[in-house]
């Protein structure tokens, strides 16, 4: 007979993701990233390194940016989560999304969702006063294509508009 230990028994987790409430029975070992991508089918949040080093999985959790690969979904019962899919409003891009397009802040696009979510957090935290400050506070987000000048310009432009 195979018994599940309490640590692996599904638990009910309530999440508000992009304004929609979800009640999920989850294995407590599942990362927030895997729940977003595999359970809620929100694949804009990317799995890059799965070690918290690249920032591709950055989302906003209760308004603060986090790498979703390093946190367990079960730890955030009742939390509000915003992903890249939740940014546009009535068909209009978020100002930072529009700035990324205007300033060529993307190339292959793989890191773009995490860069944008981190940029929103950077602006909200008050860390977008200069290009050097933006580079410092965005340093946890890696772009393999080297679109950094456009990314920094986009964050600076959106910060001025905010």
16 and 81 housed in the same domain: yes
76 and 124 housed in the same domain: no
**What's the pLDDT at 56?**
97
**What's the pLDDT at 129?**
97
CA 45, 61, 139, 50 dihedral sign is negative
Domain limits for position 55: 11-85
**What's the pLDDT at 73?**
97
**What's the pLDDT at 4?**
58
Is a pLDDT exceeding 70 seen at residue 5?
A: no
77-122 pLDDT per residue, tens: 999 999 999 999 999 999 999 999 999 999 999 999 999 999 999 9
Task: Report the CATH number at residue 59.
Answer: 3.10.20.30
81 and 116 housed in the same domain: no
């Amino acid at each position: 007979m195979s018994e599940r230990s309490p640590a692996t028994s599904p638990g009910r987790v309530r999440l508000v993701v992009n304004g929609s409430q979800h009640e999920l029975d989850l294995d407590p070992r599942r990362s927030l990233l895997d729940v977003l991508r595999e359970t809620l089918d929100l694949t804009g949040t990317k799995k890059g390194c799965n070690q918290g080093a690249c920032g591709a999985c950055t989302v906003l959790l209760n308004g603060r940016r986090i790498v979703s690969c390093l946190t367990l979904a079960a730890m955030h019962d009742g939390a509000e989560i915003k992903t890249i899919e939740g940014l546009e409003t009535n068909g209009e891009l978020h100002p930072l999304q529009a700035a990324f397009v205007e300033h060529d802040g993307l190339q292959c696009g793989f890191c773009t969702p995490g860069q944008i979510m981190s940029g929103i957090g950077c602006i909200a935290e008050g860390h977008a006063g200069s290009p050097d400050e933006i580079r410092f506070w965005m340093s946890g987000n890696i772009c393999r294509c080297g679109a950094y000048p456009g990314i920094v310009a986009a964050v600076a432009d959106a910060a001025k508009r905010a």
